[in-house]
Amino acid sequence: MERTLLIIKPDAVRDRHIGDILKIVIDAGFDIKALRMTRLTLDQAARFYAVHEGKSFYASLQTYMTSGKIVPVALERDNAVAKLREILGATDPSKAAPGTIRRLYGSSIESNASHGSDSVENGRLETAFFFPELDF
Ligand code: CDP
Ligand code: MG
């Protein structure tokens, strides 16, 4: 079974959408393997998003991702990575398809409510970033 990481981002936690987002994910057939609430340090946010180092939005992304509590969720399903990206919708909520998590609960290209891993390899790495106790 494939694994991927969902993060309910600070804006969505602040806007009280944890339950709404988890319902969409569960209704899409995902199993929750692990879940917790935490707040990232700047160093953790920088490491998690290291792939974006040098991009114009990197500093602002770190400020946003450390601005409040987040809910990382380890998910399992067949085709989990692609399926989660599908129900998240496009990075920019205004370009995301109707009914997707980002269209429903995101408010800008930065404050887009949720993260989903972008490859099977990153699904494993990112899940282990938050849940190192899970065995693979
Ligand atoms: O999250 P996703 O994989 O769809 O997009 P990304 O290109 O990997 O960017 C990571 C995150 O950076 C996005 O989810 C946004 O929160 C933020 N971002 C931004 O603030 N401005 C951009 N032009 C692109 C992304
Ligand atoms: Mg990405």
Residue 135 pLDDT grade (very low, low, confident, very high; cuts 50, 70, 90): confident
How many Cβ atoms from other residues are within 10 Å of residue 3's Cβ?
Answer: 22
Residue 123: pLDDT above 80? yes
Q: What is the CATH number of domain 2-130?
A: 3.30.70.141
DSSP 78-130: TTHHHHHHHHH--SSGGGSPTTSHHHHH--SSSS-SEEE-SSHHHHHHHHHHH
pTM: 0.98
Does 91 contact ligand 1 (Cβ within 6 A)?
A: yes
In the DSSP assignment, the letter for residue 134 is S
Q: What residue owns the CA closest to ligand 1's atom 20?
A: 110
For residue 15, how far is its CA from the centre of ligand 2 (angstroms)? Answer: 22
Q: Which residue in 133, 11, 15, 12 sits closest to 74, CA to CA? A: 133
Tens digits of residue pLDDT in 65-93: 999 999 999 999 999 999 999 999 999 99
Contact in structure between 35 and 74 (CB atoms under 8 Å): yes
> Mean pLDDT, to the nearest integer, of 29-36?
97
